[in-house]
Structure 1
Amino acid sequence: MDCSLIRTLINRYCAGEENWVDNRTIYVGHREPPSGTEAYIPQRYPDNRIVSSKYTFWNFVPKNLFEQFRRIANFYFLIIFLVQVSLLFEPMRTCAMTPSMKVVFVVTITSARSGYEDWLRHKADNAMNQCPVHFIQHGKLVRKQSRKLRVGDIVMVKEDETFPCDLIFLSSSRADGTCFVTTASLDGESSHKTYYAVQDTKSFHNEEDIDALHATIECEQPQPDLYKFVGRINVYHDRNDPTARPLGSENLLLRGATLKNTERIFGVAIYTGMETKMALNYQSKSQKRSAVEKSMNVFLIVYLCILISKALINTILKYLWQSNPFRDEPWYNQKTEPERKRNLILRAFTDFLAFMVLFNYIIPVSMYVTVEMQKFLGSYFLTWDEEMFDEDTGEGPLVNTSDLNEELGQVEYIFTDKTGTLTENNMKFRECCIEGHVYIPHAICNGQILTDCSGIDMIDSSPGGSGKEREELFFRALCLCHTVQVKEDDSIDGLKKSQLSGGSCVYISSSPDEVALVEGIQGLGYTYLRLKDNYMEILNPKTDIERFELLEILSFDSVRRRMSVIVRSVTGDIFLFCKGADSSIFPRVTEGKIDQIRSRVERNAVEGLRTLCVAYKKFTCKEYESVCRLLENAKLSLQDREKKLAEAYEQIERDLILLGATAVEDQLQEKAADTIEALQKAGIKVWVLTGDKMETAAATCYACKLFRRNTQLLELTTKKIEEQSLHDVLFDLSKTVLKHSGSLTRDSFSGLSTDMQDYGLIIDGAALSLIMKPREDGSSGNYRERFLEICRNCTAVLCCRMAPLQKAQIVKLIKLSKEHPITLAIGDGANDVSMILEAHVGIGITGKEGRQAARNSDYAIPKFKHLKKMLLVHGHFYYVRISELVQYFFYKNVCFIFPQFLYQFFCGFSQQPLYDTAYLTLYNISFTSLPILLYSLMEQHVSTDMLRREPSLYRDIAKNALLRWRVFIYWTFLGVFDAVVFFFGAYFLFDNTVVTSNGQMFGNWTFGTLVFTVLVFTVTLKLALDTHYWTWINHFVIWGSLLFYIIFSLLWGGIVWPFLNYQRMYYVFMQMLSSGPAWLGIILLITVSLLPDVLKKVLCRQLCPTATERTQVKLSFTRLSDKYYESVKIRARLNFRNIVKGTAPGCSLLLNKMENQVKKFPEHKIKPIARRQLVLSKSTQK
């Protein structure tokens, strides 16, 4: 059940179902409702205790066991354990308790780890809940524990303290009613954010004034979104006539954030305890499962069927065997007469369960523990990679989940954002176009016109009249229409004025575009100074300070793609200044040089510059009053506030006058082009999803080599669809791409041949909406399928003008296509979170647009260039290692249990085990698990440099290549073959043969020990043969495991253990080692077992090698040639010394020839050293 649903049910229970409402009403300071107001519906709110722990003292055991055994594999092992325990009371059964201890051990270790981690959480919760908080009661400050705080309490927070709950900001020690807050513990953003107190309460600076406040707050029920809040405060200046003010996220101080550069603030608690936004965000993201995990589950089902088949076959054969009276169980076995006369079906079912227990080792419980350890420990190799550390930001890669490590090696589609991901997001103001004139700031001192737009009718080069007025309005619009803050305090963020150029202030904003524009127009003579007492101050070219009262801010959103401000000048004129994307501004303007400015915007977009258009309109006092009423009604609404604000903005931002446009350059990130080129060579299709206009995004795609010169671009845009129907456009595009590609089912990883035409597709958000929109008959499948067919045959796709939800739609569309490719989404901003969560693997970039993307991702990296090594090296290694681990585990367990199956044919199907119980228990835990764990952590079948130089090697592991059915069946049959060699080799070599010096023959346990010894050595040596990257750790673990097995067997069979009732292995191992034929047999059987796999690999490398195998051979020859070169170089040095000394054979003739050659050259052309060396050699010879 969804956690939010559970939380809703709990809240409804606490408040009473009949009292549950969508909004809550809070009385500030718990004052009684004033007379004449609506009756208050009482609601119970939780206290301020934070509970991040999962367990309590009384529910730890049942809850933890339930969590462990709800997985199908663990549940299977639980059933086997219960069967084993029940069979303890059956005589002549396998000693079941000892093997069952494996399950108990694993469950105990997991429970202990979970318990310890939860104990740490309990400690952290107690420390947080008991920290002191200052309340206001009866006009005085009272200090209490945080857990005692209630909704409605008024709290005082001092500088550098953390907010104890979610507070509505009432007042501050700062005169302007603002405070600075860092939210690093919530979203990772270390910059200081400005929050604003309620207008009617910001003047209350002491405890007495705050305590006298009479107000109520109406707000929404708790929501996990950190950046969204809807509320309303009613302040009762006159008890019967309240003043209503809207509340938004800028008034909400969140628990976990820290107060900075503000002496103190007062706030009222509205969400406490587990209802705070911080606590609601404890809820984990939806669980993602990798392709390897899915393959493991499928293999588990296959082996479960094999297990059931084995048990069923043995049960049937047992009763067929006993159908002969001479083969029935003898009278002297341990069965009692009642058991002999028990119901046949019941006896058969019991025997079936006994065989299930006997063969259950084919499904190793330790494999799941090893896989978890491999993923957890392997993730550190990514975070420790120094080459992926960025010195500019001081950050490295971050692993938020290790469950998807191997998925990094299976990526088929990459969906990337543009701004801040492919580009630096370091905006630089390049130019602006006003009324057809182009201005470039760095070449201008007094704002004079530098360049004219070619081919456009220009106004006079020295604009006057209305032209000059429009120019000044444009610059004022850029100075006023933004949300930039000015850092002018010495203490803010540690910046000193002496550190700033010229002592000027530093601009900060969540949007780098706004900072670039405000900084850029400084070169044109206009400087934004500050916002003080709700007045914006700017410095004009005449060094006069102009003041504008800030009346309203119509905030930017990704749907409108524009923002506006309404300001009043000192002369009383009221202006609306609006800036936004050209597609958002042009439809709303009615005046201005529209054609000229549009032409310049398109030209800048082709050059890859980010463009914005600027427009304005004037309001009369009457019009402004109407606008105020419209905005106030929308802001005070608690239901559908965003929708009503959007409708209000739509009415206000119309009939605008176009002023001009700006061009901002966003440079491409370092090595972004090389990264995309390498990813495409690896067979990965790269899509760019951006909100920018088509021309700007296309220019960036060319710059980063997503599109090439020979790429034929196909457009699926609104403009195309207006000329033709959607059906015709899709049909024409499909016919075009099929003409050269030949088939729609071409594998995306097969690559494009040199003679095949490269196609690139460009689609915009409006066209995608039409494709995804259901048709009149209720289906949209035909359009979607045709669109996917076109995309499959394109080398690259650019999606422009995309809203955040459309990005997620694109990812989901590809993810759910019939090929079910593995998708990866990468971005740096909040608008990328939806696609990051939708993709199989989500990667966030710790960029300049906050850390929401990194916080919601599976992995985070500093720069886009690090994606190359992350996928082509780390992802490659992760997948190869864990695939080998899974296949090897199943292989060694087939080798382990199949001889047990064969042995039943020689013991009358009596469930007699072949191996001793100690060997059964320790085989997967101690003897063979550590070598494969180290192998899966450190193996490098190809060097890291080669993986980076040869991206095509990534294709060899694509589409889960190492866990396909063909590979799985090979490993299974290899295990069966080796098991047959172990068993029958030992059986036929020592059948009816005296093998000991005293004439004694091998018994049952000696035979089993011999098979087990060959088994342990074979599976370990096979791993050694598969190892390409040897370190001292590999040597220590592999040879140490074999040595540990020998030492354990000597101790287990060489000492009489007092805790054993009977010791059937006493002296068995020593007896086996005392036999010469046993030594020879072990060596022979190991060789025969390993030989087929070695021959298969040799033949495959010779006949049909993969790119990886060819690279391995090439590296082997390179190493051999390097060694040969070193030896030749050493011999050459020795020979040269002998020649110089004159002791080498035939050196006299050689020196004479050299002397004759030297004489032919002029003196100045012969190096003195060479001549001196020759003279020395001649003298030495003489």
Structure 2
Amino acid sequence: LFEQFQRVANAYFLFLLILQLIPQISSLSWFTTIVPLVLVLTITAVKDASDDLVIQKEKWMNVRVGDIIKMEDNQFVAADLLLLSSSEPHGLCYIETAELDGETNLKARQALPITSELGDNIGLLAQFNGDIVCEPPNNKLDRFAGSLHWNGDSLPLDNESMLLRGCILRNTDWCFGLVLFAGPDTKLMQNSGRTKFKRTSIDRLMNTLVLWIFGFLVCMGSILGLGNAVWESITGYYFQSVDSAVFSGFLTFWSYIIILNTVVPISLYVSVEVIRLGHSYFINWDRKMYYAKRDTPAEARTTTLNEELGQIEYIFSDKTGTLTQNIMTFNKCSINCRIYGGWCLGSFSDLRTTDAGFLFYDYSLLEVVRRGDRSVHEFFRVLSLCHTVMIEDKAKGELQYQAQSPDEGALVTAARNFGFVFQSRTPETISVQELGETCTYRLLAILDFNNYRKRMSVIVRNAEGKLKLYCKGADSVIFERLHPCCQHMMNITGDHLSEFATEGLRTLCLATRDLDDEMVSEWLLRLRKVGMVLEGREAELAAVYNEIEQDMILLGATAIEDKLQEAVPETIAKLAMANIKLWVLTGDKQETAVNIGYSCNMLTDDMSEVFVVSGSSAQDVREELRIVFWQAHALEADLELDFLEVACLCKAVICCRVTPLQKAQVVELVKTCKKAVTLAIGDGANDVSMIKTSHIGVGISGQEGMQAVLASDYTFGQFRFLQRLLLVHGRWSYLRMCKFLCYFFYKNFAFTLVHFWFGFFCGFSAQTVYDQWFITLFNICYTSLPVLAMGVFDQDVSDQWSIDCPKLYEPGQLNLLFNKREFFICIAQGIYTSIVIFFVPYAAFVEAMRDDGSGLSDHQSLAVTVSTSLIIVVSLQMGLDTGYWTAINHFFIWGSVAVYFAIMFAMYSAGLYSIFPSQFQFIGTARNTLNQPAVWLVIFLTTVICVVPIVAFRFLKAELRPSLNDRVSSKHATPSPPSECFIQNSMESIKKKLSLIHICNTRR
């Protein structure tokens, strides 16, 4: 409840409720505010509760830190545990982490050798008295730092020996674990906190407008309060004694604040939430965004950003797995300055260990392998040893690899097909069958890959006792760590890499180094010492790794093909026609990124100029920017602004060799400096930072796990669905929300300002025109459902036309449908309507007579006439604003009018009056008033004066100055889209000629 009143509007209405409880200033009953307030809080509470139930939590009340607990197969892990022992050899166990990161593939965890010996011996486990020093509780699921001190030994602990709460034990009969964190200290609970709340531009504008309306409300209250003070001082003493006209005016001010508060209706915010919820369901139910191959539907993971999808100006996209399939196939390689692959056809059917799905074949390379070429054998040893692949199953004698990334799977499969078959691994060994002979390597250290190191290494001892370091990684990090003797080979291999990249292939370099025992022994001691560090362990590990990854010998390079996803070029073309700029942020080489740019139609042959900025220092980059930008004097002194100035003039931007942090920095730069609505889309963990930084984050459920999906606002299975998300759902959501807000403010000003005009005719006494029940029910029963139906279902053109006519998307980018100007137009129309529905009946009733000759000009008859006119006028206006009629719209609009008359006749009946005489005082008024023909004539006249000018204006505007939307809507019934949608407007001819900026190797 406290959180609900953090919203300014709810606190404001609570303040009004308190004022209504003061008899001296309130002319309305308390229920006129408390009923809507309770309804709003209840609906919001139900919505929040449903959101919270998405993540179900279960408590294990009896688990305490320091306990040793036994877990069995298929059981949820109850706390964050240090794995002590398991039923599997070498202390291994397998877990599923879908509840943590959404990934369904099994992961291996390994107990320390010193604790795995405990087995399932309860006596030994009970005697375990080790001391564990570790980091404090945090939300980092992939990292853990600690140390175990037991029996005089000190051993480092990392994430590989941890079982986190929420995991499920799989394919393991049992395991024992020591509880390190329980309850709220577990990483699962540490991740359950709220992420940074994203707000739409319409939300921010609404907050500003509500403040303006409140100021307008204060002005109206001040005018009426001042009028009361003047009236009391001049006329009031004829009716009652007045102690202080000023005090009376002060009380009247607060009374009118209560009466006129409906200009900011309490139902506004809950209506917005209901509409957004409906839009989210439409996204979830859209079968055209369903990816059948992976059984992946589209999902709106948030309900608060839908209309922002209709205002996107910049899209920031990852390449691998987002634009491409992330299904890797080994295509080419370079070994000893020679390229293999790409032109030969054949099969490996003569090798029993081959993978039937392997498509690479080069007979010359196979012959070199068979001849025993040392460099070629070392090349494939790197592929078969330097990885983290697990053997998932050996059913029917077939090896099944389970890789954490498609790249690793492709490389290990390539080695397998050339006779170097990875067969098994233990915590201390790796077994590889090399051309039919099984070789077991002792594994001394694994130097892990991460997005900042961009490389992975292993240190092994072969059967001959020699120590070797095998390394694979990006050429940018491998080349700078090679021995000087490799310069010639490095130059040739660099040329090969550029050739591979121009074909759009993903490349890696392979290297090796011979080590001696003394060096490795000293290095392992330093590694173990660093492993005991808690603060800054990662930085110190990186430094230790770097010590030994030097003076390596280059073996060659691999080239892996990653094909584009279906319909990516068409999608990018449609988004470009909608004036949405696409920037690709990738860690790939420049040539690879440019080639993909041409493949997916980001870059086209008719672009007038394509240029590359690739300076290695800030000054170099600035000079290159000044060269390509002929208005060099217009550049700012800051390099980021130089980059932004040039990049925003281009139709397409590709940034290569970027880190995850740099991706987020690019997004933040455009978001902050351009004040543009941004969207980031990606599929991997390295995209999470930019997804969280952008206004809208989209995650693609692909080959690299679920981290991007879990951090996103929207998710689906393929990049091509982005055009439907933006051009259909986004545009419709923006259109519906804008029409809803315009109508909502209009009808409430028309409803409320009648009291303002009446104040000048009732001695500024804070008397209301309407019955208090009409005031209570106007926004709850009479007008709520029709405007909700329009906000949920309305559309101007069909979904297909929205895609075929991308230009229809531009009004959202330009913020044309709801802005301050449109707001004031709605307010002006509301004021005009309030004047007509009050003054026309008031003027008509002055001399009007009933059929029996009695006067018609009583307050209750005026109230019924004005309220009936208001309901009819706003209902007709709703009909004019509705662009897409459904049975629901008809039912709600005309049903609400019927409900009004039914409730009015029921509440003004003698039955309710006899039960609640103080609450239902308009007994018989409805029947007596609406039986008079003059009243219906007044209602008809009022309706005509209110509605006809609006109809005439809209007709003339559509005929004389039609918008593209009007033209498309008028031709909606024709079989083909109108040609205007594909004609560039005159502004296109004066757009900048610059076409692409490709930023790489930029160092700030």
Same fold (TM over 0.5): yes
Is 1:1024 matched with 2:879?
A: yes
Question: What one-letter code is carried by the residue in structure 1 that aligns with 2:309?
Answer: L
Q: Identify the match of residue 603 of structure 2 among 697, 701, 707.
A: 707
What pairs with 1:825-904 in structure 2 (closer than 5 Å)?
825-904=680-759
* TM-aligned CA deviation for residue 1066 of structure 1: 1.6
2:823 maps to: 968
Q: Deviations over 1:996-1045 (max 9, x none)?
A: 34444231111121111111111111111222222211111111101111
| 1:1065 and 2:962 matched | no
Q: 1:98–1:918: 8 Å Cα contact kept in structure 2?
A: no
Moved more, 982-991 or 689-698: 982-991
Equivalent residue for 2:95, pick from 181, 197, 207: 181
Whether 1:1086 and 2:943 are equivalent positions in the alignment is yes
- Against the structure 1 CA distance between its residues 154 and 68, is the aligned structure 2 distance closer, same or farther, given a 3 Å change threshold? same
Match of 1:233 in 2: 148
User: CA shift at 1:514, angstroms?
Assistant: 0.6
1:315 aligns with 2:251: no
Residue 1010 of structure 1, aligned match among 854, 865, 877: 865
In the alignment, structure 1 residue 1095 sits paired with structure 2 residue 952: yes
Distance 2:223 2:490 in 1: 85
- Contact conserved, 1:737 with 1:794, CA < 8 A, in 2? no
1:341 aligns with 2:341: no
2: CA distance between counterparts of 1:199 and 1:695? 47
Matched with 1:910 is 765
TM-score normalized by the length of structure 2? 0.92
Q: Deviations over 1:182-202 (max 9, x none)?
A: 011111111100011112111
Cα deviation, residue 511, structure 1: 1.4
**Counterpart residue number, 2:180:** 270
Q: Is the 8 A contact 1:156 1:265 kept in 2?
A: yes
Aligned to 1:57: none
1:1104 equivalent to 2:961? Answer yes
CA deviations over 1:55-86 (Å, ceiling 9, x no partner):
xxxxxxxxx1x322221111111121111111
| Distance in 1 separating the partners of 2:101 and 2:51 | 24
Match of 2:112 among 179, 184, 198: 198
Q: Whose Rg is larger?
A: 1
Q: Structure 2 vs 1, CA of residues 511 and 1105 (structure 1 numbering), >3 Å: closer, same or farther? A: same
Give the whole-Å Cα distance in 1 for the aligned partners of 2:559 and 2:50: 53
Are the equivalent residues in 2 in contact too, given 1:358–1:913 (CA < 8 A)? Answer: yes
Deviation at 1:606, TM superposition (A): 0.6
**1:965: how far off?**
1.6
Structure 1: distance between partners of 2:660 and 2:742: 41
Paired residues, number: 960
Give the residue type in structure 1 aligned to 2:613: L
* Separation (CA, whole Å) in 2 of partners of 1:506 and 1:1120: 51
What is the one-letter code of the residue matched to 2:384? Answer: C
Cα distance in 1 between the residues matched to 2:71 and 2:546: 40
Confirm or deny that 1:413 pairs with 2:314: yes
8 A contact 1:366–1:925 mirrored in 2: yes
User: For 1:119 and 1:783, how far apart are their aligned partners in 2?
Assistant: 44
Structure 1 counterpart of 2:661 = 805
CA drift of 1:151 comes to 1.1
* Distance verdict in 2 for CA 1:670–1:315, change over 3 Å: same
Contact 1:364 1:924 in 2 (8 A): yes
Match of 2:587 among 691, 715, 721: 691
Does 1:282 pair with 2:177?
no
Alignment CA distance shift 1:1063-1:106 (3 Å): closer
What is the distance in 2 between the residues matched to 1:1063 and 1:184? 59
1:660 aligns with 2:515: no
Corresponding residue SS for 2:702: coil
Aligned 1:542-941 pairs, distance under 5 A: 543-590=436-483, 591-592=485-486, 593-711=489-607, 712-718=609-615, 725-735=620-630, 782-817=638-673, 819-941=674-796
Question: 1:1134-1176 deviations in whole A, cap 9, x for unaligned?
Answer: xxxxxxxxxxxxxxxxxxxxxxxxxxxxxxxxxxxxxxxxxxx
Distance 1:717 1:364 in 2: 56
Cα 1:736–1:781, aligned 2, differ >3 Å: closer, same or farther?
closer
CA distance in 1, matches of 2:503, 2:45: 61
Query: Which range moves more in the overlay, 910-919 or 103-112?
Result: 103-112
d(CA) in 1 for partners of 2:412 and 2:730?
43
Q: 1:732 to 1:1069 in 2, by over 3 A?
A: same
Alpha-carbon distance change, 606 to 525 in structure 1, aligned in 2, over 3 angstroms:
same
Whole-angstrom distance in 2 between the partners of 1:656 and 1:296: 61
1:291-690 to structure 2, matched below 5 A, reads 291-324=201-234, 327-331=235-239, 337=241, 340-342=242-244, 344-440=245-341, 443=346, 445=348, 450=362, 468-489=373-394, 497=395, 503-532=397-426, 534-541=428-435, 543-590=436-483, 591-592=485-486, 593-690=489-586
Q: Deviations over 1:225-276 (max 9, x none)?
A: 101100111220xxxxx12221111111000101000010111011111100
How far apart, CA to CA, are the structure 2 residues paired with 1:871 and 1:116? 29
1:259 paired residue number: 169
Read off the aligned partner of 2:20 and give its amino acid letter.
Answer: Q
Of 306-315 and 514-523, the range deviating more from structure 2: 514-523
2:17 is aligned with 1:84: no
Letter in 2 for 1:481: C
Q: 2-side partners of 1:1090 and 1:1118: how far apart?
A: 34
Q: Which has the higher contact order (CA 8 A, sep 6+)?
A: 2
1:191 aligned partner, one-letter code? N
In structure 1, what is the Cα distance between the partners aligned to 2:466 and 2:29?
A: 92
The structure-2 alpha-carbon separation of the partners of 1:560 and 1:532, relative to structure 1 and needing over 3 Å to count, comes to closer
Q: CA deviation at 1:737?
A: 9.8
Change (3 A) 1:733 1:992: same
CA contact (8 A) 1:997 1:1075 kept: no
1:962 is paired with a residue whose SS is: coil
Q: Percent identity?
A: 35
| Structure 2 CA distance for aligned equivalents of residues 118 and 671 of structure 1 | 34
CA contact 2:13–2:33 (8 Å) conserved in 1 = no
Corresponding position of 2:355: none
AA aligned to 1:352 is F
**CA distance in structure 2 between the aligned counterparts of 1:905 and 1:75, rounded to whole angstroms:** 31
Deviation at 1:286, TM superposition (A): 0.7
User: Superposition pairs for residues 1032-1043 of structure 1, below 5 Å?
Assistant: 1032-1043=887-898
Considering only aligned residues, what root-mean-square deviation do their CA atoms show, in Å?
A: 2.6
SS of corresponding position for 1:433: strand
Aligned partners of 1:463 and 1:384: how far apart in 2? 54
Question: Which whole-Å CA distance do the structure 2 matches of 1:1117 and 1:419 have between them?
Answer: 40
Deviations 1:29-74 (A, max 9, x none): xxxxxxxxxxxxxxxxxxxxxxxxxxxxxxxxxxx1x322221111
Using the TM superposition, give the Cα deviation of residue 120 of structure 1 relative to its aligned residue in structure 2, in angstroms.
Answer: 7.7
For residues 79 and 401 of structure 1, the distance between their equivalents in structure 2, rounded to whole angstroms, comes to 31
Check whether the contact 1:508–1:515 (CA below 8 A) recurs between aligned residues: yes
Secondary structure at 2:550 match in 1: coil
> How far has the Cα of 1:437 moved from its partner?
2.2
Q: Deviations over 1:462-507 (max 9, x none)?
A: 6999x91111111111111111111125xxxxxxx35xxxx42111
The amino acid that maps onto 1:562 is: R
1:810-857 superposed Cα distances (whole Å, 9 cap, x missing partner): 11111111x311111111111111111111111111111111111111
Contact 2:663–2:690, Cα closer than 8 Å, also in 1 = yes
CA contact (8 A) 2:346 2:361 kept: no
1:996–1:1074 CA contact under 8 A, matched in 2: no
Q: Distance in 1 between matches of 2:565 and 2:39?
A: 48
The letter for the 1-side match of 2:766 is Q
Counterparts of 2:85 and 2:666, CA distance in 1: 46
Q: Deviations over 1:101-147 (max 9, x none)?
A: 3344335625863897699899x76xx33xxxxxxxxxxxxxxxx32
| Paired AA for residue 1103 in structure 1 | L
Alpha-carbon deviation of 1:534? 2.7
Distance 1:193 1:875, change over 3 A: same
